[in-house]
Structure 1
Amino acid sequence: MPDWAWTLTGVAGGLLLCWGALVAALWRARPDELRARELLRLLPDVVRLVRRLAADRTLPRGVRVRLWLLLGYLALPVDLVPDVIPVIGFADDAVAVAVVLRSVVRRAGAGAVDRHWPGTAAGLAALRRATRLPG
């Protein structure tokens, strides 16, 4: 076998190993059924929240860039973990939202999320519980 084939095989194996580690980490950190159900119910409000935060020029540029990248990731039909895989199929989206919103709160404060939340107070409380946001 030529050298380039060994290299290609090694790279493909490494990528497959990294993907497997990601799936295992998502399985371990998967949201419980209650949190996942809450997040799915809140999805329209969460998307509007992320859009409003991304358009807020008072937030730091790096925060807005992360939010736009999150919107792009959520809009893409291709995920790191396909949605057809039970339980963890949607976990990658939920984890991505939680990580980005936590970073927004760290940089911009919890007031930014409160200010732009389009839903009810109960919905905001559910979002805080589901993503473990301080507040």
Structure 2
Amino acid sequence: MRDWLVGAAIAVVLLLVSWALLILLVRRLPPGIMRDLAAFVPDCVTTVRRLRADPRVPRRAKIAVLIAAIWVASPVDLIPEFLPVIGPLDDIVVVALALRYAARRVPRDVILAAWPGQPRLIERLLGTPPP
């Protein structure tokens, strides 16, 4: 039993170290599309957290963004994360769909205020506002 716990602790430490390394590497990316894509999922996580706390967001939209957050945090993926470029694609698609769903039920300014990243990215994701 003790060996199993030591192995699990080592795995958690390695996971945290790899995340820290990825964060450091992302911060060194030059401005452009690759940096925007690298920051997309963390920006989405922040947006989900802010939308869940906002009382102007209806329950169905909160549930949709919560499901997207669980999907991103889940170790089970349709496309394994270790595949270069396409690994995080399923996470990005699920989060984008959940945010678009929520955006149809929430005032646009609430979504824009919750988005911590570049406004042009969320504007593009949400599409043109209805007239």
**In which range does the TM-score fall when normalised by the shorter chain?**
0.5 to 0.7
Find the counterpart in structure 2 of residue 118 from structure 1: 116
Closer, same or farther: CA 96–117 of 1 in aligned 2, 3 Å? same
- Counterpart CA distance in 2 for 1:106 and 1:35 is 26
Q: Percent identity?
A: 37
Q: TM-score, normalised by structure 2?
A: 0.63
Find the counterpart in structure 2 of residue 127 from structure 1: 122
After the TM superposition, which segments of 4 or more aligned residues of structure 1 sit over 3 Å from their partners?
A: 34-37, 132-135
- Counterpart CA distance in 1 for 2:67 and 2:106 is 17
Q: Deviations over 1:57-105 (max 9, x none)?
A: 2211110011111111111122121112333211101111111111111
1:16-95 mapped onto 2 (5 Å cutoff): 37-95=35-93
Gaps of 5+ in 1: 1-33
Coordinate RMSD, CA, aligned? 2.1
Higher relative contact order, chain-length normalized (CA < 8 Å, sep 6+): 1
Letter aligned with residue 58 of structure 1: R
- Counterpart CA distance in 2 for 1:61 and 1:36 is 34
- Counterpart CA distance in 1 for 2:60 and 2:45 is 19
Closer, same or farther: CA 105–36 of 1 in aligned 2, 3 Å? farther
Q: In terms of Rg, which structure is larger? A: 1
Find the counterpart in structure 2 of residue 21 from structure 1: none
Specify the SS of the correspondent of 1:94. helix
Specify the SS of the correspondent of 1:48. helix
Q: TM-score, normalised by structure 1?
A: 0.61
